[in-house]
Amino acid sequence: MCIRKGCNMSKLNFILLKAVRWSGWPLLPLLLLFLFTGYVMDGRYGLGKILDEKSALTFHRMLHIPLIILVLAHSLPAVYLALQRWGWIKHRDEP
CB of residue 35 to ligand HEM, shortest distance in Å: 10
Taking CA atoms, 6 is separated from 9, 10, 11, 95, in Å, by: 8, 10, 11, 9
**Contacting ligand HEM within 27-66 (CB under 6 A):** 27-28, 31
Q: Mark 6-25 with x for binding to ligand HEM (rule: CB under 6 A) and - for no binding.
A: -----------x--xx--xx
Amino acid identity of residue 51, one-letter, is L
Question: Do the beta carbons of residue 81 and residue 13 sit within 8 Å?
Answer: yes
* Contacting positions for ligand HEM (CB under 6 A): 1, 17, 20-21, 24-25, 27-28, 31, 71, 74-75, 78-79
